[in-house]
């Protein structure tokens, strides 16, 4: 799915981020249309990662004031940013759709010590279907207003509305997080 030269470039950027910020990346994936299975020739690479600082970073009086994201400006086709593991766990606890989708990405760049499978185990006991439905309904409405109410609509933009609607149907039917790969969602409703 990801060309070797692009994968190498992405892994080099992740290593550079680790060095620059003094962190260790635990999990890195592709998010967005490539992970959903409907990228277009102009799609960028949406690289997302979860990282950890050395232990001493967390044992600090000012921990809550410390920055818990790493973000880079987009300078080419690679959009890369990440969250500290504490932030990721807090968001998972709240059933944040972004972290839930990251854990299901079919395109994995790094999975340090099966980090993702350990995080996925938590989903069974904490995931809120109601929060998922609310999120995907809001996403469908926003994308409908933003993409489909224009004179000329690229085909890809229809998927930006259809995918959240199919995700809602999945949540209602299976009472579990919806897969992010479009083909998996659509197979159940053909």
- Cα separation, 164 vs 174, in Å, equals 15
pLDDT by position in tens, the chain (length 190)? 799 999 999 999 999 999 999 999 999 999 988 999 888 888 899 999 999 999 999 998 998 888 999 999 998 999 999 999 999 999 999 999 999 999 999 999 999 988 999 999 998 899 999 999 999 999 999 989 888 888 888 888 888 899 999 999 999 999 999 999 988 887 765 5
The residues of the chain that CATH labels 3.30.460.10 are 4-125
DSSP secondary structure of 110-157 = EEGGGHHHHHHHHHHHH--HHHHHHHHHHHHHHHIIIIISSSS--HHH
Pick the closest to residue 164 from 134, 140, 138, 145 (CA basis): 140
The CATH number of 4-125 is 3.30.460.10
Residue carrying the six token digits 């766990």: 89
């Amino acid at each position: 799915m990801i060309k070797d030269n692009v994968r190498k470039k992405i892994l080099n950027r992740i290593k550079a981020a680790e060095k620059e910020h003094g962190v260790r990346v635990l999990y890195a994936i592709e998010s967005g249309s490539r992970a959903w299975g409907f990228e277009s020739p102009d799609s960028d690479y949406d690289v997302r990662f979860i990282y950890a600082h050395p232990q001493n970073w967390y044992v600090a009086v000012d921990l809550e004031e410390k920055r818990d994201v790493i973000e880079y400006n987009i300078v080419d086709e690679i959009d890369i940013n990440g969250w500290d593991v504490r932030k990721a766990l807090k968001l998972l606890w709240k059933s944040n759709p972004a972290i839930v989708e990251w854990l299901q990405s079919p395109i994995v760049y790094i999975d340090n010590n099966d980090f993702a499978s350990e995080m996925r185990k938590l989903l069974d006991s904490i995931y809120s279907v109601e929060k998922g439905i609310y999120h995907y309904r809001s996403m469908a409405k926003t994308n409908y207003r933003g993409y489909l109410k224009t004179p000329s609509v690229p085909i890809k933009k229809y998927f930006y509305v259809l995918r959240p609607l199919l995700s809602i149907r999945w949540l209602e039917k299976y009472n579990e997080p919806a897969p992010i790969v479009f083909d998996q969602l659509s197979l159940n409703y053909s």
